[in-house]
């Protein structure tokens, strides 16, 4: 019988993120040698990467950081996925995520494809990701990355479960005057998920389609033809209030809007980004 204990199994699971059965098999094969068992888990994991390609990776975390830059400040959000929450909170997975975030910050990569080619410790992010899949035994994906610059960039990370890393990440770019309310605005974005900054940012084709739906709905309700334009405008305003940040009712005071809160601070929001794991 291999020379290892239950504590050894637990320690190796925490170190690699591998499943209980895989850890026990590796320790048996390595005769209780933990370092050799890690090598076995890694080798077997590399062979299984292709088999994991079709599996869903909807758990994970949001890694983020804001640094000073030529524009004032620059923030980066990276979504990194795994198959289970068990892996998402694993120390090795979190360390891996920190390395990927650092690579995104230093390289200036603006999408996942560009980030995959960035070199980290002598290997690409893609190779680093494949290595983590091999050790942990789950599909791991660096799904997306975004950068946001401005005079001031506020970062807010939200844990939907206190036992897990951040599942929601928000960046808000403002001028200096609005920095005083930027944190509250970031928390609002985390909760209310706006799609656009303001009405000017909504693509013309989406506006046209929404207006068409409003007109068809109003006519189907049998409203008088002369009243339709006014009703449609009212419904379009409702669409903007639901989807545009500055038009949304402010989370901390629904009697006012986010736009008014920022204006009262004497500043403006110049952009935002929001990631939620798996969304």
Is residue 189 within 8 A of residue 245, CB to CB? The reply is yes
CATH number assigned to the domain covering 59-198+258-276: 3.30.479.20
At 155-177, the pLDDT tens digits run: 999 999 999 999 999 999 999 99
What percent of the chain is modeled with pLDDT above 70? 91
* Low-confidence winner among 12-16, 109-113, 135-139, 153-157 (lowest mean pLDDT): 12-16
Distance of CA 205 to the CA centre of its chain: 27
Q: Which two tokens stand for residue 243?
A: 């989807």
pLDDT of 51 > 70? The answer is no
At 224-249, the pLDDT tens digits run: 999 999 999 999 999 999 999 999 99
At 125-145, the pLDDT tens digits run: 998 998 888 777 788 999 999
Cα–Cα distances (Å) from 270 to 94, 116, 147, 152, 178, in that order, read: 31, 29, 13, 10, 10
Strand, helix or coil for residue 225: helix
How large is the average pLDDT for residues 34-39? 82
Is residue 66 within 8 A of residue 73, CB to CB? The reply is yes
**What confidence tier does 48 reach under pLDDT thresholds 50, 70, 90?**
very low
pLDDT of residue 265: 97
CATH architecture of the domain covering 6-47: Orthogonal Bundle (1.10)
Average pLDDT over the chain reads 89
**What confidence tier does 50 reach under pLDDT thresholds 50, 70, 90?**
very low
Within a 13 Å sphere around the CA of 249, how many CA atoms are in the beta-carbon half? 5
* Low-confidence winner among 6-15, 92-101, 217-226 (lowest mean pLDDT): 6-15
Q: How far apart are CA 117 and CA 20, in angstroms?
A: 33
* Between 25 and 235, residue with greater pLDDT: 235
pLDDT of residue 47: 43
DSSP secondary structure string for all residues of 65-125 = EEEEETTEEEEEEEEEEES-HHHHT-HHHHHHHHHHHHHHHHH---SHHHHHTSEETTEEH
Which DSSP letter does residue 12 get? Answer: H
**What confidence tier does 4 reach under pLDDT thresholds 50, 70, 90?**
confident
- Domain spans of the chain? 6-47, 59-198+258-276
Is residue 214 within 8 A of residue 255, CB to CB? The reply is no
pLDDT of 101 > 70? The answer is yes
């Amino acid at each position: 019988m291999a020379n290892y204990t239950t504590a050894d199994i637990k320690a190796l699971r925490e170190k690699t993120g591998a499943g209980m059965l895989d850890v026990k098999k590796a320790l048996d094969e390595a005769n209780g040698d933990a370092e050799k068992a890690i090598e076995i888990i890694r080798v077997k994991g590399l062979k299984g990467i292709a088999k994991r390609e079709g599996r869903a990776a909807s758990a994970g975390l949001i890694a983020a950081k804001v640094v000073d830059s030529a524009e004032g400040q620059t923030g980066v959000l990276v979504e990194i996925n795994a198959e289970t929450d068990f892996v998402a909170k694993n120390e090795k997975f979190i360390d891996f995520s920190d390395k990927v975030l650092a690579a995104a910050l230093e390289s200036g990569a603006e999408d996942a494809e560009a980030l995959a080619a960035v070199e980290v410790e002598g290997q690409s992010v893609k190779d680093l990701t494949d290595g983590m899949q091999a050790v942990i035994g789950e599909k791991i994906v660096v799904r997306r990355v975004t950068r946001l610059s401005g005079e001031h960039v506020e970062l807010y990370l939200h844990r939907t479960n206190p036992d897990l890393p951040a599942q929601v990440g928000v960046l808000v770019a403002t001028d200096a005057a609005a920095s005083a309310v930027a944190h509250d605005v970031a928390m609002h974005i985390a909760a209310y998920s706006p799609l656009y900054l303001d009405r000017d940012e909504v693509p013309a084709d989406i506006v046209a389609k929404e207006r068409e739906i409003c007109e068809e709905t109003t006519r189907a309700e049998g409203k008088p033809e002369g009243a339709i334009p006014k009703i449609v405008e009212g419904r379009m305003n409702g669409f903007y209030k639901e989807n545009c940040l500055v038009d949304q009712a402010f989370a901390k005071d629904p009697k006012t809007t986010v736009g008014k809160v920022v204006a009262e601070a004497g500043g403006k929001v110049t952009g935002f980004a929001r990631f939620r794991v798996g969304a």
